[in-house]
Amino acid sequence: MSVLITFIQKAIMQGICMLFGADGEILTEKSGNLNLGVPGMMYMGGIAGLMAAFYYEKLAAHPNGLVGLILSLLAAFLMAAFGGLIFSVLTITLRANQNVAGLALTTFGVGFGNFFGGSLSTLAGGVGQISVAITGDAYRAKIPLLSKIPVIGDIFFNYGFLTYFAIIITLLMAFFLKRTRWGLNLNAVGESPATADAAGINVTLYKYLATVIGGGIAGLGGLYFVMEYSGGTWTNNGFGDRGWLAIALVIFALWKPINAIWGSFLFGGLYILYLYIPGLGRSMQEIFKMLPYLVTIIVLIITSLRKKKEQQPPESLGLAYFREDR
């Protein structure tokens, strides 16, 4: 029983990092923009949040965990949103190829994170010496009383702030996209920007806002990995392929935020499943790590064969919009 509970906890912890990235990419793709820079923005958000917490605790006479949490959260969101802004300028204003721009952003973001992460580690005295204990404790604080309930508390209430924040953001995004005027306008922009433009919707503004805010949300996945999952430390290239799994999760979830919640936990479980199967060699472990991608491919094939409109990506996804002057 204890092994099963531990597995569920670890699967949820792995999945939350992907959920943030998937939420940001769903919002971006709903506008018709395909941003493959999610892994890079996660690195940018992670290192920015860690640096904000580190310098706050270093310079403040009496650092407060809540203040450190707010500062690092804002820093992570704004830095990753800046990455989204770079992508927006390139692809919306300059109409650069979205695939190339996204891959370039990932390369830039990973290098950005590794450079400043390595520099911060050196400043702190070496790898693993970065100390943001006060802010880290604020991120990892459990829900009082509820987390002490046997089994139920362990599975549902034994996580930090960002875990529940990710689920709240996902639920709000689902409501926004389906139940609000702005969300419906955003869907219209993603499906047919020309039609939305003709209806008086500011296509450029919606694309910019969705891509920039989506980038900021994706960056919180990096902050989660650094603060809540890794305990306030930095390891170069430590995120692995979680950013790419977040993009795969968008496809698996069929561009629906609610699906991304349970999909992220499934991906998290598949990602660590090899650790709970005894006797696996290195080659078999790598095969098991492929399972989230394999499941995504299967879902993509099935939905493509069904050809249901609600299970397809936005029609203008990946295409630059050229307004025709009349």
What pLDDT sits at residue 148? 83
Distance, in Å, from the CA atom of 189 to the CA atom of 156, rounded to the nearest integer, reads 37
Q: Nearest to residue 207, comparing CAs of 314, 79, 74?
A: 314
User: Could you read off the pLDDT of 285-309 as tens digits, one per residue?
Assistant: 878 888 888 888 888 788 777 677 7
The DSSP code for 45 is H
* For range 220-233, the mean pLDDT: 91
Cα dihedral 209/38/117/138 (nearest 10): 70
The whole-chain average pLDDT of the chain stands at: 91
Q: Nearest to residue 221, comparing CAs of 292, 270, 294, 170?
A: 170
Share of the chain above pLDDT 70, in %: 97
Q: Nearest to residue 202, comparing CAs of 323, 61, 58, 23?
A: 323
187 φ, ψ to 5°?
-60, -40
Distance, in Å, from the CA atom of 221 to the CA atom of 39, rounded to the nearest integer, reads 9
Contacts of 43 (CB under 8 A, 6+ apart): 109, 110, 112, 113, 114, 222, 239, 243
What pLDDT sits at residue 246? 94
In terms of DSSP H, where are the helices of 125-256?
Answer: 133-140, 152-156, 161-179, 181-191, 193-198, 203-224, 242-252
Which residue carries 């709000």 as its tokens? 172
User: Could you read off the pLDDT of 49-86 as tens digits, one per residue?
Assistant: 999 999 999 898 899 999 999 999 999 999 999 999 99
User: Could you read off the pLDDT of 4-39 as tens digits, one per residue?
Assistant: 889 999 999 999 999 999 999 999 999 999 999 999
User: Could you read off the pLDDT of 92-130 as tens digits, one per residue?
Assistant: 999 999 999 999 999 999 999 999 998 888 887 766 667
326: pLDDT strictly greater than 50: no
User: Could you read off the pLDDT of 186-201 as tens digits, one per residue?
Assistant: 999 999 999 999 999 9
Distance, in Å, from the CA atom of 85 to the CA atom of 91, rounded to the nearest integer, reads 10
